[in-house]
Structure 1
Amino acid sequence: MIQVAAAIIEDEQGRILIARRKPGKSQAGMWEFPGGKIEQGELADDCLRRELMEEMEIEIDPYAFFGVNDHHYGATHIRLIAYRARYVSGTITLTDHDEYRWITARELTAFTFAPADVKFVEMLHSSKPRLNE
């Protein structure tokens, strides 16, 4: 089993950051909540801080556990651990993605997400909307 962390990053307006996998990567063209593989002995929230700095050059503050989704891609078992996070600073520079967007939870279903992320899309989409949505 591969443990992966995903960040549901919100900006000051309550919008959520999503990113599209670039060509040549597994699941190219699909959208996801950014994150990455958890290294041996690493906590999920520390992984997210590291991965977002490496992959997008931004600082985030993971502040609350959101959920876990076990998903099988053929013989590969992924455990995706999601945290809510605040965008802190930095200008987004993409390395593993070819596009990103800040969207409301209501807009999530308009995008094709990687299968392991779909559970979190559904959870966010069905949650009570914020005043600014």
Structure 2
Amino acid sequence: MIEVAAAIIENDQGKILIARRGPGKPQARLWEFPGGKLEAGESAADCLRRELAEEMAIEIEPTEWFGVNEHDYGTFRIRLIAYRAAFAGGEVRLSDHDEYRWAAKRELDQYEWAPADVPFVRKLLAEGSMTSP
């Protein structure tokens, strides 16, 4: 099983950073919370700091554990570990994705998501509905 970390990064306006997987990659053209594979002995939080610096040229600060989801893609299985994170700086430059957006929580269901990320989308949407008037 491949261990992968995902960051639910919120900016000052309360929007969440999402990214679309580039052509030629598994789950190409599907949206995900950015992150990447954990290296040996690396924590999920450290992985997220490293991956976001490498793949998007931004700094983040993981703030709290959000959840874990295991998903079988048929040819491989992943264990996706999600953390909430604060955007700490930088300007997004993509190297692994072909598009990104800062999306409002209520808009998340308008995107086609990689299956492993879907439970986190649902959890965020449920939070949003609890705080809406």
TM (norm. structure 2) is 0.95
Deviation, structure 1 residue 22: 0.9
Which runs of 4 or more aligned residues in structure 1 lie more than 4 Å from their structure 2 counterparts after TM superposition?
Answer: 129-132
Paired residues for 1:1-133 under 5 Å:
1-128=1-128
The number of equivalent residue pairs is 133
The residue matched to 2:29 in structure 1 has which SS? Answer: coil
Computed over aligned residues only, the root mean square deviation of the Cα atoms, in angstroms, reads 1.7
Residues 21-68 of structure 1 deviation map (CA, whole Å, 9 limit, x = unaligned)? 111111110000000000110000000000000000000000100000
Give 1:130 shift.
8.7
Q: 1:25 & 1:75 partners in 2: Cα distance?
A: 14
5+ residue gaps, structure 1, are none
Render the CA deviation track for 1:76-95: whole Å, top value 9, x for unaligned: 11000000000000010001
- TM-score scaled by length of structure 1: 0.95
Question: Alignment partner of 1:127: what SS?
Answer: helix
Q: What are the ranges of 5 or more consecutive residues in structure 2 without an aligned counterpart?
A: none
Identity of aligned residues (%): 62
Q: Is the 8 A contact 2:21 2:29 kept in 1?
A: yes
Q: Is the 8 A contact 2:106 2:128 kept in 1?
A: no
Q: Distance in 2 between the 1:26 and 1:114 partners?
A: 9
